[in-house]
Chain A
Amino acid sequence: MKSESKLEKILNAGHFAVTGECGPPRGADPEAIRKKAKYLKGMVDMVNVTDNQTAVVRMSSWAGCLILIQEGLEPNYQMVCRDRNRLAMQSDILGAYSLGIKNILCLSGDHQRFGDHPGAKNVYDIDSMNLINMVKTMRDEGRFLSGAEITVPPKMFIGAAANPFGDPFEFRVHRLAKKVAAGADFIQTQCIYNMDKFKKWMAQARDMGLTEKVYILAGVTPMKSLGMARYMKNMVPGMDVPDEIIKRLRGVDKKRQADEGIRICVEQIQELREIDGVAGIHLMAIEWEQRVPEIVESAGLLPRPEV
């Protein structure tokens, strides 16, 4: 074991992993997290807590993670390079680990142009690739980026993101390979709707031997409505929503679109499960955590393994 992570134990034991997501509140109310935690408990193996996602200020990821720990859930601390330099990152990693956070997801972060503080100065001292490698060096070599020794190294399970639908497509698998070389233990992908393209990317990853070196958790997000599907298709950069999804949601009565969205999601999970090299799913039910139990159950992913 590289870390003390529950996710690592589950994946090492050969279980098909299920991870979830929890967006922290735009306020200091811990109950907002506790409420989401109730829906996710027992349904997923680990819960990502987003870090000022879409560059909108929210409760800090590490604080959200601690609340999840209090609720008996295993958190994944998301950290973006947009808001912190290497000093702040390393000290936050030490602090998070000291309080029981054992997983980290290393991200570049959405540009602040999209968020609620577009006038902010961004940092990007290091990028997500360097962040992955920094956490690995801290964990495995017990050294800071500067080379100085760490008294008690943070034994974290290191995650990274991958978007098979970003351009240029042919380079995407190389970028995955770089993340693996940098030290990523697991990958959580962008939401998958274009299954053909995802399968092609997975085939490339297998050909390069990457699925032997890293656990790939396939990202899924249920559509709440036709409006959401259209928004994802047209407005979210790097998102690939094929017309069939839009057509399917358009084909049902507005009141039944949410149920159809859930059905699509369950089918996607079943299809993803059959792909060689997919080690689990990352279920991002955005502000829809209450439907997670239903999705996980319908997909036949319960009960979650005890390790």
Chain B
Amino acid sequence: MIVAERKPISEILDMIKDYHRIMLVGCKGCVTVCNAGGEKEVGILAATLKIARKKEGKELEVAERTLERQCDPEYIEQISDIVDDFEAIISMACSVGPQFLSERYPDALVFPGLNTKFMGGALAHGVWAERCQGCGTCIVHLFGGYCPITRCSKSLLNGPCGGSSNGRCEIDKDIDCVWHLIVEKLTRQGKLSNILSVQPPKDWTTSRDGGPRKVVREDLA
């Protein structure tokens, strides 16, 4: 899923300081799963913003809507009848949300309520970790099921670097050295030969480096 985190309240308050009628738009996709922008978080943010504004002696009217997804035009459409009633919209989706809302409603002022962090998964309740950078050419099977591009701090394809110490990354003792994990796993599986020859330079054309990307499925489009 896409993992996101709500922006600090002070930042959100600053974004909407000139407005009195706003709408918070949540998303029932990834950000609901990672407890950042679902119906519940929309409710909490609405209450928090109202209390904060009341303290300043300024009223704030906040409407709450949570869409099935904000990355699909058909759901974005569901607020078309009310969008004009508000001075500002805060999207509580990943960064796709505010962009899709802005594209569909060009006159609306749309603000991001979340910081989109990464593609990853939950390690434990309340803990998420990055697993994919969307390079466009998956090669995790070569590395024991680990992605060195995402999980090595230097994205080395021929690690581990000299800074690997006791299974930890040189940049932070809380970060696993993914190359240590790769070596251990492949040794256990008897597949160390996978990484004994030099992995050639990555072709980044399928990544963001090849320019903004698009997927077109001829059979569906």
**Which residues of A are interface residues toward B (Cβ below 8 A)?**
81-82, 86, 108-111, 113-114, 122, 124-130, 133-134, 145, 161-163, 165-168, 170-171, 174-175, 177-178, 181-182, 190, 237-238
B164 interface residue per 8 A CB criterion: yes
Say which residue of B155, B162, B184, B204 sits within 8 Å of A238 (CB atoms): B162
Does B158 contact A166, Cβ atoms closer than 8 Å? no
A268 to B200, CA, bound (A): 37
B154 interface residue per 8 A CB criterion: yes
14 extra interchain contacts, Cβ-Cβ under 8 A, other than A81-B154, A108-B156, A166-B163?
A108-B161, A111-B153, A111-B171, A113-B153, A124-B154, A124-B155, A127-B154, A129-B198, A130-B200, A130-B201, A167-B160, A181-B197, A237-B163, A237-B164
Interface string of B116-151 (1 = CB under 8 A from A): 000000000000000000000000000000000000
Chain B residue with minimal CB distance to A122?
B154
- Shortest distance from the beta carbon of B205 to any chain A beta carbon, whole Å: 12
Residues of A within 8 A of B159 (CB): 127
**Which residues of B are interface residues toward A (Cβ below 8 A)?**
153-167, 170-172, 177, 180, 183-184, 187, 192, 195-202, 204
Does A182 contact B198, Cβ atoms closer than 8 Å? yes
- Shortest distance from the beta carbon of A238 to any chain B beta carbon, whole Å: 4
A-B contact pairs, 17 of them (CB 8 A): A82-B154, A111-B154, A124-B154, A127-B154, A127-B157, A127-B159, A129-B198, A129-B199, A130-B158, A130-B198, A133-B198, A161-B162, A165-B162, A167-B160, A167-B177, A178-B198, A238-B163
Most interface-central of A113, A161, A175 (chain B CB within 10 A): A175
Known: A178-B198, A182-B198. A111 touches B160 (CB 8 A): no
Nearest 3 pairs of A and B residues by beta carbon: A163-B162, A237-B170, A129-B158
Q: Is the interface of B mostly helix, strand, loop or mixed?
A: loop
A217 to B40, CA, bound (A): 62
Known: A166-B161, A167-B180. A113 touches B171 (CB 8 A): yes
Residues of A within 8 A of B171 (CB): 111, 113-114
Does B201 contact A125, Cβ atoms closer than 8 Å? yes
Residues of A within 8 A of B177 (CB): 167
A305 to B201, CA, bound (A): 39
Say which residue of B155, B170, B183, B199 sits within 8 Å of A168 (CB atoms): B183
Does A124 contact B162, Cβ atoms closer than 8 Å? no
Does B162 contact A127, Cβ atoms closer than 8 Å? no
A124 to B135, CA, bound (A): 14
Say which residue of B157, B165, B195, B204 sits within 8 Å of A166 (CB atoms): B165
Residues of A within 8 A of B167 (CB): 167-168
Does A111 contact B170, Cβ atoms closer than 8 Å? yes
Residues of B within 8 A of A110 (CB): 163, 170
Residues of B within 8 A of A108 (CB): 154, 156, 161
Residues of B within 8 A of A113 (CB): 153, 171-172
Residues of A within 8 A of B202 (CB): 125-126
Does B160 contact A190, Cβ atoms closer than 8 Å? no
Does A86 contact B198, Cβ atoms closer than 8 Å? no
Say which residue of B184, B195, B204 sits within 8 Å of A125 (CB atoms): B204
